[in-house]
Structure 1
Amino acid sequence: MSQQPRPETGTPARATDARLLTETVTRLRRALRASIRTEYPWETLPMAQVELLQVLAERSPARIGDLAARQRLATSTVSGLVGQMITAGLVARAVDPADRRASAVTLTDAGRDQLAAWARAHERRLNTALEGLDEADRAAIGAALPALVRLTDQLDGSV
């Protein structure tokens, strides 16, 4: 099925949408990281650690290799991050209940608290930004959220 080019660019609509979505998501992540630093210092919880905490909040306990595969990172990278997070008290390493020869990482109460504080800070920043938009823009973002969740699920399942 042929796509009609967009008059302003001459490129197919899907290519332009994909490019615009990529640019927008990248800018949104950068803006969130920059804006949150005033309330929640970056050094307190680096993004790589946040992402591991989020995975562990969904699936805990987890082996280092499973975390690495899920995050598409080298096992040594995840092992180093986990070591830092153990030192900070955010996660703990214990014997894997499914295989006593292996170890698994679990989220600690301190890790759960840090992740919750990080999420609350981001929600406050986003709520403030959303309040600055007109009702039509807020409604459009709200209407797009289910499709963005499905898109994320599609991307997660495509590897």
Structure 2
Amino acid sequence: MLNPRHEDSLPTEQLAEDLRRVIGNLVREVRSGAQTPSSAQSQTLGLLDRHGPSSISDMAAHRHVKHQSMRLVVAQLEQQGLVTRAADPGDARKQLIALSAAGRAALAQDRLQRSDWLALRLAHSSAAERQTLAGAVQILERLLTNAAPG
């Protein structure tokens, strides 16, 4: 329970909870509506797209999963031709996993489907609402930029 002497913190905490809930619901609804469900494979493709070639150990640590679980996901992605494996130039004993052209195309297609689904819903909002959302996107991007890595 909040200390009543810190009433000014309540709106920030409530806003944080509302944002967490609404953004989570929005992400789930967009993925469901666009028929691009999240999976360990799609999350791994996105991670490789954002961070570039990575070792299985680094990806497992970043996604907070066991090395063996990540190894299995990578093996599935490899079988589908969505990732490639190459020696790490800094340490030939290690291997780096990277997106293949097919993996990049699959990721781009999923993102396009989600953007299109959301754009259809945004078309029903007013110009003022879209302008408010554009401002909110800038604020959210700033929050992400100022966030500590991890």
Q: Secondary structure at the match of 2:92?
A: strand
Q: Equivalents in 1 of 2:146, 2:40: separation in Å?
A: 22
Q: Which runs of 5+ in 2 are unaligned?
A: none
What is the correspondence of 1:56-135 to structure 2 with a 5 Å cutoff? 56-135=48-127
The equivalent residue for 2:133 is 141
The equivalent residue for 1:50 is 42
Query: Percent identity at matched positions?
Result: 27
TM-score (norm 1): 0.82
Pairwise CA distance, 1:155? 4.2
Q: Secondary structure at the match of 2:94?
A: strand
Does residue 11 of structure 2 align to residue 13 of structure 1? Answer: yes
In structure 2, the CA distance between the partners of 1:110 and 1:153, relative to structure 1 (3 Å rule), is same
Q: Equivalents in 1 of 2:127, 2:115: separation in Å?
A: 18
The equivalent residue for 1:8 is none
In structure 2, the CA distance between the partners of 1:139 and 1:118, relative to structure 1 (3 Å rule), is same
Ranked by relative contact order (alpha carbons within 8 Å, sequence separation 6 or more), the top structure is 2
Q: Which runs of 5+ in 1 are unaligned?
A: 6-11
The equivalent residue for 1:4 is 8
Q: Secondary structure at the match of 1:104?
A: strand
Bigger CA drift: 99-108 or 76-85? Answer: 76-85
TM-score (norm 2): 0.86
The residue type equivalent to 2:64 in the other structure is R
Q: Equivalents in 1 of 2:68, 2:145: separation in Å?
A: 26
The residue type equivalent to 1:59 in the other structure is H
Q: Equivalents in 1 of 2:144, 2:41: separation in Å?
A: 20
Deviation by residue 1:70-128 (Cα, 9 ceiling, x = unmatched):
22332222211111101111001121111101111011010011011111111101111
Q: Secondary structure at the match of 1:142?
A: helix
